[in-house]
Chain A
Amino acid sequence: MEKKLSEMKYEEEGIVKEIREGLKDKIAGMGIREGRGIKMMTKQPIKGPAVVAVDRANTSIGLGLADKIIVEVGK
């Protein structure tokens, strides 16, 4: 099943399917890329940022940005 990164639940894991153009440039160097596993570590209340983990690196990312990343999740 595909969903936006911003819709992933706490501790849910998935594979990055697609990153919208524009954002790709910006997050390439932080290790977030298509085809790679990603895990949702935390979500802040009142639409605050999420914290995601890719390859042992944690990144804090705003929800609007996380909207632009599509993730394939297990079920």
Chain B
Amino acid sequence: MKLTIDQRWDLVDRIAKETVEVGTYKPGLRDAVADATVRPAIGIPFAIAVLYGFWTFFGEFAGLFTDGFFVRIFGTHWIPFLGEKLAGLPDWAFTILVGDRAVFAEGFGGDPCFAAGGILTTGLFMPFGIVLWAVLALFLMLAVLEDTGYLPRLASLVDSVLHKIGLHGFAIVPTLVSLGCNVPGVTACRPLETRKQRFMMIALLGVFVPCGAQIGMMEELVPELIGWVFLTLAIGYLGFGWVLNKVWPGESPEILMDMPPYQAPVWSNVLRKTWNRTRHFLFVAVPFVLLGCLIVMVLYATGAMDALASALQPFLMAVFGVPAEATPSLVVGFLRKDLAIGLLPIEAMTTYQVFKSVVLLTIYFPCLATFAMLLRELNWKEILYTLGFLVVTILVFGSILNLIGMAGGW
């Protein structure tokens, strides 16, 4: 026999009356904190402090490993060493594995880690010298946040804003997860209630949320621009979310979410999660980064890159407002956006052009692994719309940023 809701609760209450005894409990510090952090007056400054701490830790941690250690290892030891040891290779092999001989002879004219370009030099430096430390830092902080129980409180706080664009406060969870890696971010959208909310969230993630690998590259290459890049992306996320909510059919029900109590993080669990995700990153990302380097170097070695660059130049100028030297970036952008940022010809561009290209590369086609997730979670119609949405976003953003650039004379 099945009971109605009222009958079942009636039965539960009678069972509980005979078996459960609730003593008087003096609320402690933890409860005070739990209450305070969802109250706007304290909760909002607290959230800002948490996110700021997050960011500072990220910068320090990633910087320590990258600048303090790997730039030196690669720049002064590994790359010159390879250049010497493999000097006997035929030109094409040297170009692909180590880099352009001409660049080597000239002494790189900049940072050898980026300028070399070969699979064993730049191809290894980017994932192991930069990106690994950035994603490690992000995964570690995310794991701590997840274990403390702060995320549901943050979700409740930001729901006021997110619900205005048809999303659920819970959307902050997939957003934060995506800052580590978009792949689990897409799956984390499942607890959103309706198809519409899931579609909107996945589309916004795929388009506007940069992953840890990209953030790591930005932090290394253009640290002074990151604030502006994030601000621009956030405006896009909220603005396009607002539009999508208006045009996409379906409902956006309100938040209804359980709030577990705070807990001290279980360190073994935090470390295990960080390791699992980092390992996954190494397996998924590194092969693609190496493949990307291979493609770029092959295109250079065969002269195809120059042909492609002159063919794409008018388009690049018109849409992205960047010079032809940015072609390699856009070619590998399909594979890995972190590599694409790494290949941006920073010396050949103005600061504003760099800013613009970083923003547009973030919006650019989702990486292959993320795209595979879209195929799993969305239906065909939604995927086509997501891609359409992507193209529209790039055109709109590209034009607006170009106009601003022209107006400002940058």
Are A and B in contact, CB atoms below 8 Å, in the complex? yes
A interface residues (Cβ-Cβ under 8 A, vs B): 24-28, 30, 33-36, 41-42, 44-49, 51, 56-65
- With A44-B156, A44-B160 as given contacts, are A59 and B256 in contact (CB-CB < 8 Å)? yes
Which B residues touch A42, using CB under 8 A?
35, 38-40, 156
Q: How far is the CB of A45 from chain B (nearest CB, A)?
A: 5
Q: Could you tell me if B258 and A49 are in contact, using CB atoms closer than 8 angstroms?
A: no
Residues in A neighbouring B156, C-beta threshold 8 A:
42, 44, 48-49, 51, 60
Chain A residues with Cβ below 8 Å from B169 are: 49, 60
Residue ID in chain B nearest A32 by CB atoms: B256
Taking CB atoms, residues of chain B closer than 8 Å to A47 are 160
Residues from chain B with Cβ under 8 Å of A56 in the complex: 22
Are A49 and B255 in contact, with the CB atoms below 8 A?
yes
Residues of A within 8 A of B257 (CB): 59-61
Cβ contact within 8 Å between B38 and A61: no
Cα distance A64–B251 when bound, in Å?
A: 13
- B131 touches A (CB below 8 Å): no
User: Is A49 a contact of B254 with CB atoms below 8 Å?
Assistant: yes
Chain B residues bordering chain A, tally (CB within 8 A): 28
Is B335's beta carbon under 8 Å from chain A? no
B158 to chain A, nearest CB (A): 9
Of residues 17 through 68 on chain B, the ones whose CB sits less than 8 Å from some CB of chain A are: 22, 34-35, 38-40
B5 touches A44 (CB 8 A): no
Is B163 interfacial (CB-CB < 8 Å)? Answer: yes
Contacting residues, chain A, for B259 (C-beta < 8 A):
51, 58-60
Q: Which residues on the A side are within 8 Å of B256 (C-beta)?
A: 26-27, 30, 59-62, 65
Q: Report B-chain residues with C-beta under 8 Å of the C-beta of A34.
A: 6, 9
Does B179 lie at the interface of the complex (its beta carbon under 8 Å from any beta carbon of A)?
no
> A28 and B9: CB pair below 8 A?
yes
Task: Classify the secondary structure of A's interface with B.
Answer: mixed
With a cutoff of 8 Å between Cβ atoms, the chain B residues found around residue A33 in the complex are 5-6, 9
Residue of B13, B35, B156 with highest tally of chain A CB at under 10 A: B156
Complex formed: what's the CA distance from A73 to B258 in Å?
24
Chain A residues with CB under 8 Å of B159's CB are 44, 48-49, 60, 62
Does any Cβ of A come within 8 Å of B155's Cβ?
A: yes
| Chain A residue at minimal CB-CB distance from B40 | A45
A5 to chain B, nearest CB (A): 12
Which residues on the A side are within 8 Å of B166 (C-beta)? none
Does B390 touch A at the CB level, under 8 Å?
Answer: no
Complex interface: chain A residues within 8 A of B155 (CB)? 60
Q: Could you tell me if B157 and A44 are in contact, using CB atoms closer than 8 angstroms?
A: yes
Please report which residues of chain B, range 144-174, place their CB below 8 angstroms from some CB of chain A when the two chains form the complex: 152, 155-157, 159-161, 163, 169
Q: How far is the CA of A41 from the CA of B169 in the complex (A)?
A: 18
Is B38 a contact of A41 with CB atoms below 8 Å?
yes
Contacts of A65 in B (CB 8 A): 254, 256
B348 to chain A, nearest CB (A): 46
Selected from A26, A51, A64, the residue in CB contact (under 8 A) with B38 is: A51
List 30 interface pairs A-B (beta carbons < 8 Å), by A numbering. Answer: A25-B5, A28-B5, A30-B258, A34-B9, A42-B35, A42-B40, A44-B157, A44-B159, A44-B160, A45-B160, A46-B160, A46-B161, A47-B160, A48-B156, A48-B159, A49-B169, A49-B255, A51-B156, A51-B259, A59-B257, A59-B258, A60-B156, A60-B159, A60-B255, A60-B256, A61-B254, A62-B163, A62-B254, A62-B256, A65-B254
- Distance (Å) between the CB of B5 and the closest chain A CB? 5
Identify 12 new A-B residue pairs, CB closer than 8 A, beyond the known A28-B8, A30-B256, A60-B258.
A27-B256, A33-B6, A41-B35, A44-B157, A49-B159, A49-B163, A49-B169, A57-B258, A58-B261, A60-B256, A63-B254, A64-B254
Q: How far, in whole Å, are A64 and B257 apart by their CA atoms in the complex? A: 14
